[in-house]
A and B are shown apart, each in its own frame.
Chain A
Amino acid sequence: MQRCGYVHLWLLGSVLLICLISGVTRVNGDVALTHQESRLNPSKSNLNQTEHGHGSVITGIPIVTFKWHHVETPYLVALWILVAGLGKLVIEANHHVTSVIPESALLICFGFILGGIIWGADKVQTFKLTPTVFFFYLLPQIILDAGYSMPNKLFFSNMGAILIYAVIGTCWNAASLGLSLWGCHKGGAMGDLDLGLLQYLLFGSLMAAVDPVAVIAVFEQVHVNEVLFIMVFGESLLNDGVTVVLFNVFDAFVSLGGDKIDAVEIIKGIISFFVVAFGGSLVGFVFGLLISLLTRCTKNIQIIEPGFVFVLGYLAYLTAEMLSLSAILSIVFCGMCCQKYINSNMDERSVTTVRYVMKVLANGSETIIFVFLGISAIDKEIWVWNTGFILLTLLFVLVYRFIGVFFLTWILNKFRLVPVELIDQVIMSYGGLRGAVAYGLAVMLDENKIKEKNLMVSTTLIVVYFTVILQGITMKPLVNWLKVKRAAVGELTLIEKVQDKVFDHMLVAIEDISGQIGHNYMRDKWNNFEEKWMTCILMKPSARKNRDYVFKVFHKLNLKDAMRYVTEGERRGSLEFVRNETAFIDFKKKFDDDFSEVMPDIMADTSDDYNPVPSVSLEMHEQTMNGMRPLEDVNSHHLLQQHLYKGRKQHRHRYSRSHFDVNKDENEVQEIFQRTMRTRLESFKSGKMGVAPLKHITKHLKKDQQQKVRASEFILLDNLHYNNNIRASASSFPMRVTYRAGAGIENPAFMPDLDPMAQVQIPPWLAEAEVDSSMVAPSQRAQLRLPWTPSNLRRLAPLRISAHSTDSFMLADAPAAQQRDNDQLPPPPPPPAPPHGDHM
């Protein structure tokens, strides 16, 4: 109900807005100028503006002047982006609607409404989707995004099928549609039209291509299995090359006129197809390599390195266009080539930036495209109705798509390892959506050469609406009804990825053994080549080191764990940690020196430990409170001052255009990850070694009874309080706590406190005193560590504590945990679901 209210309010607002704009436009006597035209003619509006400026007689200094022409073009562009964005917002707010009708269809309908409003205000369609704007400003980013996020392995393993569909399928579509329409024309099905065979073929060629934008928009919402998706998606991307060639060739043929076409011209046309397609891909490939090379050396200008990806990608597009090669193929291959290298060359933040900006741009222009497709329809000028032509086109488009797909799949299935199933073929045929590319090409037709241009444009629009809206809406029910195999959406799991690799190696080996040169063999050869040369040249040495696939997955999982851990920590408000790096190094050094003789084994384990040392700081403070060691008191304060999180205040107002990482808090995840990796190694090692000293500590604790625990805990609370004050709102988290909330996976990196090693870390100032009784000494410290050690952990995820020896901890913590539960925290939440429930 509330939403309806919003919708009304918003519609009202947009109506007002548009009336205002169109009103203004009219007032300035500039109605005929479409906004795109004016955008392409900045000189014109500048001219207007200068005329305004100098032409009028200055009678005094105006305080405020209204200079609409001065800002008109960018203002309108910005407003349209805003309107489209708001339209999407409204549409997406209604989940029950978008779950039935795909967003693209809704956006087109939204475009109808807007177009109606503009029409009502202006009595002429002021805003249209022009080919220039579409091909130069809206399409590239969508395709770049598609290329950049293309699952390369999947794509190349289905490359053959995709190419067959894209090349032969599209040619078939074009030819069959053109010829059939021509035949129907000859048969008198559509009355008196001034169209010849070539014009029909030209029309067929622009209608032939499946549109990547529409396909992505619809198929993104129905999660079909990945093979099916990549087939439709890949086809829609690659058939552009074919479409452009066919369109250009037939366009040229139409210009030449029927009688001048001979075998030579036709052969030239066929050659030009190969040149355009492969040339375009080559341009893209070169630019992809360029991007990769460039990102190798952008370490010092990290803040703008994401920019290179976009600029060079766009340049790839424009270069191909300039050389009259296939621009779409170019930018697709550019994105596909560079994805691997830039992802490992660039800083992780830059990669995230690229990914997000890519999505923002792609999604934004997709929205704008659909809205404008809708708006373009509300224009009396373009509508020429010819029932026969339009209906026959619709019918043929659909029928020939089915015939083409079924026939080609029938051939392909003879060669495919895993044949394409019948229902997949149905979906593939049904997913042959036409979209803005076809419309853009139709608008590009030359009216002088083709008299019936408007009929073609309106037919194209109808086909687009039919496929995007009707087929889009019915796609989901159809997929459900046919029980198409869906994509398995699941969590990333390490074992799956490992197994993936094993499968790859296994297949190669089996092909080797059985003496076949198959797909896997080729891929293996390519991988070796890639490993040897491309990676060497295109990847930073540092990035080359740890780019192993499985390791990356591992990295990602850890990152995810870390984030979940942070969220969980935030929820519980456990800010009682300090982190400390430099101090710890010093501490370690000294520790090492002192103890390496005493406990060589343990020292060897911890020698490069880089743990943050909350325990040290906390302990120091506790000692301060006890007033036991005045000297260390100073020491500890020094430590705390230096290494606690800085309050945010200190950094917040510093502004820098070239550095993003002034405020460390924003790098939390990064830091957490780095720590994770370090501590993980440690904890694992020590966990495995089952370091002995634990037992001593435990004994001691047991002896020490609860009072002592309680006392120290009290101090600790105080201590925490203090820390929290210092750190105020710094939302930073210690890394040395087990995270297990609902994750199901025990990430050893987050459970270093179960790591017995931690217990024997003795600060240097204690070291001298306690060298002799080193095994028993840590008792106090051990208690101090309690508040954020296992008791908490157990509450976070009362699952299995770990493979480490933990029972002693349970014993040690029990009283403390109880106590804290009672007076500090709300009763523990019900335990999260058992781990296997999460990742089945």
Chain B
Amino acid sequence: MGSSNSSVNNIPNAQELMQETGFSAAHILRLHERFEFLDKHKCGQLRLVDRPTNQPQDFGAVQELALNPIGDSIISAFFSPGQETVDFASFVRILAHFRPTDRNQSRDGAQQEPANSSIRKLKFAFQMYDQDRDGKISRAELLQVLRAMLGIQVTEEQLQSIAERAIQEADLDRDDAISFDEFRKSLEKVDIDHKMSIRFLR
């Protein structure tokens, strides 16, 4: 908020980012403030882990994430494989997945799918499970998510049978894993736009 340099022009590549993600200048500004708040070292990058201590870094500032059962997966979704840092542009690009889908599709149609289209949203959700990014949710990966979410009341065996069943429901080609296509089909009835959008305050 009241920061003195509150101008979009101070943010590198702001115009391109706005173009690409559809965020307004006010959005970008706000997100940039947030980014700087998270960026303790003021180096323009958020780190996954602090090298010497191996403690969760930067994102650790968001205390609520520690309580979130799938917080870690979400944090790691901000980092492309192999990378340990994320800069502002990528940060915004990830968040752009959660912008409400634009109603008027005609917004320069030649461009590739914007991040907030349902398919990209779904892809993001898929990656929550697919930790090894092999394009398939294996049983172990599903189990991991389930384990995080279901907590202690459910025994390991029950978890396993739940995972088993969930895979069977979605698994069409019987390879004992859920591919993205299968994932999409199984969620056909879910209103993704609704379920994966949040309101970004200006």
A positions within 8 Å CB-CB of B: 227, 417-419, 488, 490, 493-496, 498-503, 505-516, 518-520, 524, 528, 545-548, 550-551, 554, 557, 677, 680-681, 684-685, 688, 745-749, 800, 803, 836, 839-840
Contacts and interface: CB of A to CB of B under 8 A. Distances in A.
Given A494-B169, A495-B166, A507 B146 contact: no
Interface of B is mostly: helix
A346 B15 CA distance: 59
Given A512-B62, A514-B95, A550-B146, 19 more contacts: A494-B166, A495-B178, A498-B145, A503-B125, A506-B125, A507-B195, A509-B68, A509-B71, A510-B95, A513-B34, A513-B78, A514-B198, A528-B67, A550-B150, A557-B165, A680-B161, A684-B160, A745-B168, A803-B176
A510 B98 contact: yes
Contacts, number: 159
Contacts of B178: 495
Given A494-B162, A495-B169, A681-B158, A515 B149 contact: no
Given A502-B149, A512-B65, A745-B165, A493 B186 contact: yes
A495 B146 contact: no
A839 B155 CA distance: 27
B64 A515 contact: no
Contacts of B197: 417-418
13 contacts: A227-B194, A418-B197, A494-B162, A498-B145, A498-B166, A514-B198, A514-B200, A515-B33, A545-B153, A548-B150, A681-B157, A684-B157, A836-B172
Contacts of B59: 513
A840 B190 CA distance: 12
Interface residues of B, number: 61
B72 to A, nearest CB: 10
A505 B67 CA distance: 10
A518 B193 contact: no
B201 interface: yes
Most buried by B among A501, A506, A515, A745: A506
A680 B168 CA distance: 15
A524 B71 CA distance: 13
B186 A496 contact: yes
A721 to B, nearest CB: 35
B42 to A, nearest CB: 17
A496 B70 contact: no
Interface of B: 30-31, 33-34, 37-38, 59, 62, 64-65, 67-71, 74, 78, 95, 98, 100, 103, 125, 128, 145-146, 149-151, 153-155, 157-158, 160-162, 164-166, 168-170, 172, 174, 176, 178, 185-190, 193-201
A554 B165 contact: yes
B79 to A, nearest CB: 13
B169 A501 contact: no
Contacts of B170: 495
B74 A509 contact: yes
A511 B64 CA distance: 10
Contacts of A501: 149
Contact of A506 (B70, B158, B193): B70
A500 B195 contact: yes
Given A506-B125, A510-B98, A747-B165, A800 B174 contact: yes
Given A495-B169, A548-B154, A748 B164 contact: yes
Given A493-B169, A495-B169, A514-B95, A551 B162 contact: yes
B68 A503 contact: no
A519 B186 contact: no
Contact of A502 (B31, B128, B165): B128
Contacts of A547: 153
Contacts of B160: 684, 688
B26 to A, nearest CB: 13
Nearest to A489: B189
Nearest to B195: A503
A496 B187 contact: yes
Nearest to B162: A554
Contacts of A418: 100, 193-194, 197
B153 A548 contact: yes
A515 B153 contact: no
